[in-house]
Amino acid sequence: MYEMYNKWGDIVKETLKQEVINARSLSHYRDIAIVGMGGSGIIGDYLQVLAYGSPRRIFVIKDISLPQWINKSVLVIAISYSGNTIETLSAFYQAIDRGCEVAVVASGGKLLEMATKYGVMHITISKGLVPRAAFPALLYGALKILWSGGITDIITEEDAKKALTVLNSAPAMNRSQQIAEFIEDYVPVIIADTRYAPLALRFKNEINENAKMPVKVEVLPEWAHNDIVGWELGSEKFRFLLINPNDNSLYQKFIEFAESYFKSLGFSVYKLGLEGSTLFEKLMHGTIIAGFTSLLLAERRGVNPLITESITMYKEFIKKIFKN
């Protein structure tokens, strides 16, 4: 899988060349719902925090059904790498039934087939990738849908292209090796501020799937109102990975407080300093490190990152449910 992660820059460039079919104006939509599961659903989490500086509201739906309030006034973007994710297809059909404007990002499958049938906006991304390693194709595919529809106030194409500079695999691999060594024999607890919560979740998901390890995620400042108390008696099972925004903000002071707190209790802490000049660049920098870290952990633990037996078992289960 290393080859897939090493090619993220190339995958982005290829995605940006893809045509958005049935493109139309979307700029009048203030509310956007991103529908997806797993490695596709995380795209919604990233877009949601990127939209904090825009007048638009992004809602993330990771479910088999849409909330009742989603109607024709909401743009729905359905994302599924395979195009066959049952939960996403279910939500897609509901959006169509409600008369919503729908757009699709997929590499193939039933979702693209239905996008063509119903004449909705869609983009076909590169095939042949492991879904979680297809992250840049899914993210930039969703962004291209937005840009093609005239929505540029979440992030511009120019600014998104600048993030390619932080995807250099050599320095990312060096940092990943340090993190893998640090958390290998422990349950990692990943802590980030609200803006980087999607990155913490992505980190967790990558380690879950590739390295077959449990991971805990907490978000500041909410962490300091509940979870903080749970560590007062200590534990030898956990190590802490703090995502440092490196921006001299109030949020960075939150992270520094957490670092001081955990060290005062005798815990080991690793602080990952994000590189880049924008939120988007820092998210991308942390994301490539998360990918490499998970693969290195898989190597160390002697597990195959490609095989996810439990997810396969669940997918067989949900197929039976929907057939009935």
CATH number at residue 218: 3.40.50.10490
- Does 190 reside within a domain? yes
- Host domain of residue 221: 164-301
Q: Which of 138, 155, 172 is the last residue of a domain?
A: 155
- Could you tell me if 70 and 171 lie in one domain? no
**Model confidence over 107-124: pLDDT tens digits?**
999 999 999 999 999 999
- Could you tell me if 134 and 40 lie in one domain? yes
- Does 314 reside within a domain? no
- Could you tell me if 122 and 180 lie in one domain? no
- Could you tell me if 171 and 148 lie in one domain? no
- Does 103 reside within a domain? yes
Number of domains the chain contains: 2
- Could you tell me if 145 and 13 lie in one domain? yes
- Does 170 reside within a domain? yes
- Could you tell me if 123 and 248 lie in one domain? no
Residue 167 is predicted with a pLDDT of: 87
Question: Average pLDDT, stretch 38-45?
Answer: 97
- Could you tell me if 295 and 188 lie in one domain? yes
- Does 280 reside within a domain? yes
HEC assignment per residue over the chain:
CHHHHHCHHHHHHHHHHCCCECCCCCCCCCEEEEECCHHHHHHHHHHHHHHHHCCCEEEEECCCCCCCCCCCCEEEEEEECCCCCHHHHHHHHHHHHCCCEEEEEECCHHHHHHHHHHCCEEEECCCCCCHHHHHHHHHHHHHHHHHHCCCCCCCCHHHHHHHHHHCCHHHHHHHHHHHHHHHCCCEEEEEEEHHHHHHHHHHHHHHHHHHCCCCEEEEECHHHHCHHHHHCCCCCCEEEEEEECCCCCHHHHHHHHHHHHHHHCCCCEEEEECCCCCHHHHHHHHHHHHHHHHHHHHHHHCCCCCCCHHHHHHHHHHHHHHHC
Q: Which of 155, 173, 195 is the last residue of a domain?
A: 155
**Model confidence over 278-319: pLDDT tens digits?**
999 999 999 999 999 999 999 999 999 999 999 999 999 999
Residue 70 is predicted with a pLDDT of: 98
- Does 307 reside within a domain? no
Residue 324 is predicted with a pLDDT of: 63
